[in-house]
Structure 1
C-alpha cells in the first residue's frame, strides 16, 4: 500500500496497455522470440496463434492465456511462455486553464486512475482566478465518442472540511482537464 495526499491507495500488478513494448518468447524455442508493440486496440500478433488481445491483463495472466491457446490449438504440449515489458506506454492527463503550470501529468505505472485533486496539485494548483465549481473533464469512450463531465471541486472540499466521506473524481489516461476562469 502507498500513501498519497492523506489517502491510502492499493498498488496492483501492472496491466498491459496499448502501445506497450513487450518481449515474447517460448522457453527453449529461440526462433519464437520477438519484441512487439501492443496495438492501439490492445492486441499482439504472435507466432502460430495469430492476433491475441492482451490489454488489461497482467503479464502473468497474459502468459497463462497464451499457454492455454498454444495447448488448445495443439501447437505445443506444455509451453513455457515468457512475456517481459520492454517499454511502458506513456499514460497521462492534460491539465489546462486556470492552473499555475498547465501541463501533461504522467500516471504512476501501477495506477489505473489518478484523482482530479492530485492532477491539479501536480499542475501547480489553482490560480486566483480559477472557477473550481465548474471544472470540465473531457474523456473519450472506447468507441471514440467524446464525453464532457463537469466536476464541482468546491463541494468536494467542503465535504472534506466537514469530515464527510467524499471521494475525489477519478481521471483516466487521456483525459483533458480544463479549469475555467471566474467571471466577476
Structure 2
C-alpha cells in the first residue's frame, strides 16, 4: 500500500520537475538580432584610430588626424573635437557645425577611418588559440572563431555566447553554430563590437 503511494509521489515529483524545466525553456530570453546588427553597423571610433577629414573645396579643413588617448582630435580652425565612442558621421557633422563660424556657408565635411587601431575582440574557451585579437577591420563571430583557430574537440558549438558591454548594459547573446552554418541562418553571425568577448564552452 505504502509502496503505491511512494510511486505516485515520485511520479508527481518527476512531472513537476519536467514542467519546471519546460517552463525555463519557454522563458529563455529572445534576441533581437536585427537590433543588435543595427547597433553594431556603425563603427565607434577609439583612441589610436587615424581619421581622414575631408572638406569639399576646403584644404584648410582637410587633414589626417589621430585620435589621442583622451579621445579628442585636433582639427585646423576648429580645435579639439571629441571623437572616441562616436561614429564618423557624428564627428563630421560636429566639425562642419563648428567650422561654419568661419565661413559664409556651412562646409561639406566627410570623415573616414584611415587606420584602425582601437578595435579588439576576445575569444575564450574551447578554441585552438584563445586570446585577444586586433583585426584591421570589423569582423563577425564566425571570422573571430576562424582567427582563434576553430573549435577544439571538447567544444559545444551550439552553446557559444557573445558577452557584450555597451550603452545598453551587459548582456549575453547566444550564437548557435548549427543554426548559422548548418541551417544557413546568418542573422546570428553578428558583427562584433570592440571589446566583445566570444565564449566557447
Q: Same-fold call, TM > 0.5?
A: yes
> What's the CA shift for 1:93?
1.1
Provide the TM-score with structure 2 as the length reference: 0.56
Which runs of 5 or more structure 1 residues have no equivalent in the other structure?
Answer: 1-13
Whether the 8 Å CA contact 1:27–1:80 is kept in 2: the answer is: no
Secondary structure of the structure 1 residue equivalent to 2:187? coil
Change in Cα spacing, 1:80 to 1:151, as seen in structure 2 (3 Å) is closer
Range with bigger deviation, 90-99 or 43-52: 43-52
Going by fraction, where is strand more abundant, 1 or 2? 1
Q: Deviations over 1:77-101 (max 9, x none)?
A: 4779797867532312111110011
1:70 aligns with 2:94: no
> What aligned pairs does 1:99-118 form with structure 2 within 5 A after superposition?
99-109=127-137, 111=138, 114-118=139-143
Corresponding position of 2:144: 119
Answer with 1 or 2: which has the greater Rg: 2
Q: Does residue 139 in structure 1 map to residue 164 in structure 2? A: yes
TM-score using structure 1 length: 0.60
Residue 176 of structure 1, CA deviation: 0.5
Tell me the matched-pair count: 152
Counterpart-to-counterpart distance in 2, 1:15 and 1:129: 34
Q: How far apart are 1:153 and its partner, in Å?
A: 1.4
CA-atom RMSD, angstroms?
3.9
Partner in structure 1 of residue 175 of structure 2: 151
**Greater fraction helix:** 2
Per mean C-alpha deviation after superposition, the further-off stretch among 77-86 and 167-176 is 77-86
